[in-house]
Amino acid sequence: MSQPQKGICAEPNLHGLFLMFNVDEGKEAIIRKKLSVILDIFEHYDEEHYEGMVSGVIAIGSNYWVELFPGAFPKELSPFPDFSEYDRSAPVVPFDLFVQIRADRADICHAIGLEVCELLQGDVELVEQVKGFRFLDGRDLTGFVDGSDNPRGMKKLDVAIVGDEDPDFTGGSYIHVQRFQHNLDKWNRLSVAEQEMIMGRSKEDDVEFSSEYKATFSHSYKMSITDEQGQPVRLLRQSMPYGDMKVQGQYFISCARSAASFTRMLRNMIVADDNGDYDRLLDFTTAETGGAFFAPSVNFIKQHAK
Ligand code: HEM
């Protein structure tokens, strides 16, 4: 099987740097070459600083893919799903390239970021740069542990990596990114019991509520979806908290074998069901960006750099 990019299934890190670029017109050939050089930069830092647990992902925006790789299109790559209802929305903000850099050292993320930007200078515009960090024992800034229901070990590959169903794109992954801004003043006015009701799990010790205690508007309830065959719909989430003393939130990143998994979940969050229930977490956090990407395998990027 083609080799997936290392950052897709990597374990959570202490630091992240998330870069969004738009590419200048007519630069496709040079960008195809430079993407391969970016993989070399990730590898170099990984080898030089083994203890830093360095990993990276390069993903190509759904709108830009046809320009960069006109010959072939990942079967399920489509624009970010556009859902909104009342004051709940998921704005669609397409970018051409997403570069995710992660390590257990902030200085290494910074150094890689500088090299990537220097390499791409003159061909792209850097439109977003966000630093993510691990908060306490792996919690979101709402105070809840994030990622506990993520697949583990080899299951990650099964959930996040395209297999033989799309032979030209094995080893790739569908990536969705949303920058959420939290309203922590509003969230922190709730009691812990109210927060737990909204999340569908306990705060301190991170235990999922059993179905009889789980509210039908809770994040956990809304995200527990099965497909037509009754199989659970799953994502690998690689989100991280970001922010400063004024603006804070979650940089949501999901990786999946099928783009449809994210679309189903996002719909379930935003669009109320027959009982009028939507995901009540959305009363306390707002998506400000939303982009759909595909992260091709290492082999694909290397082959197309020639
Ligand atoms: C600011 C936005 C978000 C926050 C703060 C947040 C936070 C959390 C937390 C604390 C958990 C429980 C622990 C865990 O299993 O990871 C969780 C679970 C989960 N989240 Fe989110 N999340 C956000 C957005 C999203 C979005 C946009 C999606 C997908 C469209 C999503 C999908 C999931 C899934 C699939 C689970 C596992 C649910 C389960 O099996 O119980 N989340 N999230």
Ligand 1, residue 249: give the atom nearest the CA.
1
DSSP state of 82: -
pLDDT, tens digit (0-9, with 9 covering 90-100), for 2-50: 999 999 999 999 999 999 999 999 999 999 999 999 999 999 999 999 9
Ligand 1, residue 268: give the atom nearest the CA.
30
Nearest CA to ligand 1 atom 6: 146
Nearest CA to ligand 1 atom 36: 223
State the catalytic residues. Answer: 146
Å from CA of 240 to ligand 1 middle: 11
pLDDT for the residue 1: 67
Ligand 1 lining (C-beta closer than 6 Å): 140, 142, 144-149, 178, 180, 199, 201, 208, 219-220, 223-224, 235, 237, 250, 252, 254, 262, 265-266, 269, 285
Residue 71 scores a pLDDT above 90? no
Residue 300 scores a pLDDT above 90? yes
Residue with tokens 């759909």: 292
Residue 263 scores a pLDDT above 70? yes
Å from CA of 215 to ligand 1 middle: 15
Please list the residues that pair with 241 across neighbouring strands. Answer: 250
Q: pTM of the predicted model, to two decimals?
A: 0.97
Ligand 1, residue 145: give the atom nearest the CA.
10
Q: How much of the chain exceeds pLDDT 70, in percent?
A: 100
Tell me the pLDDT band of 292, cut-offs 50, 70 and 90: very high
